Amino acid sequence: MRGRETNSSETEMKRKNVAKCRKLRKNQTDAERKLWSILRNRQLSGAKFRRQFSVGRYILDFYSPEYKLGIEADGGQHYEDKGRRRDEIRTKELSGLGVQILRFSDRDILNNIEGVYEIIQENIEKKKNSPPHLNPLPKGERGLKKIPSPLGEKVRMRGIKVKK
């Protein structure tokens, strides 16, 4: 890679993910297979989707890099307390990377693929029709605006209390 150094643990993690992604692609559930049948070959709004794709430290069931849209087919374990908590953390971390996650139960995919199709299509169309932010703030400055302080050189940040 040019311009970026990688350490051995990062390279090792990528290799592990590649192997795990391949294994997951070979062992799809019925719901994943059915969902892939409508996502593959740009059939849905012309969007390119990848199966079992690694984003950050997670592997998404389906992912569209163009729209930063992840789709998860959730089995029963996702509806238990532990599974829900994990999914919340995962969704929040992926959101921090700019990835929107849509979750569907295996039952919905298998019994109502038309409804699942419509929801995914609506989200893609929203993303197509909303222009990207022209001047995004750097990661550490989101939601904070510098305000001059009457105390002189000190600067307060909106959203952060200044001790006196």
Interval 115-139: pLDDT, tens: 999 999 999 999 998 876 565 555 5
Predicted structure pTM score? 0.65
User: Considering the domain boundaries, does residue 162 fall inside one?
Assistant: no
User: Considering the domain boundaries, does residue 158 fall inside one?
Assistant: no
- How many domains, the chain? 1
Across the range 13-42, mean pLDDT stands at 77
Q: How confident is the model at residue 12 (pLDDT cuts 50, 70, 90)?
A: very low
Domain containing residue 105: CATH number: 3.40.960.10
User: Considering the domain boundaries, does residue 66 fall inside one?
Assistant: yes
Average pLDDT, the chain: 76
Between 19 and 98, residue with greater pLDDT: 98
DSSP-assigned letters across all residues of the chain: --S----HHHHHHHHHHHHHHHHHHHT--HHHHHHHHHHGGGTTTT---EEEEEETTEEEEEEETTTTEEEEEE-GGGGSHHHHHHHHHHHHHHHHTT-EEEEEEHHHHHH-HHHHHHHHHHHHHHHHHSPPPSSPPPGGGTT--EEE-TTSS-EEETTSPPP-
User: Considering the domain boundaries, does residue 3 fall inside one?
Assistant: no
User: Considering the domain boundaries, does residue 120 fall inside one?
Assistant: yes
* Residue ranges making up the domain that contains 127: 9-137
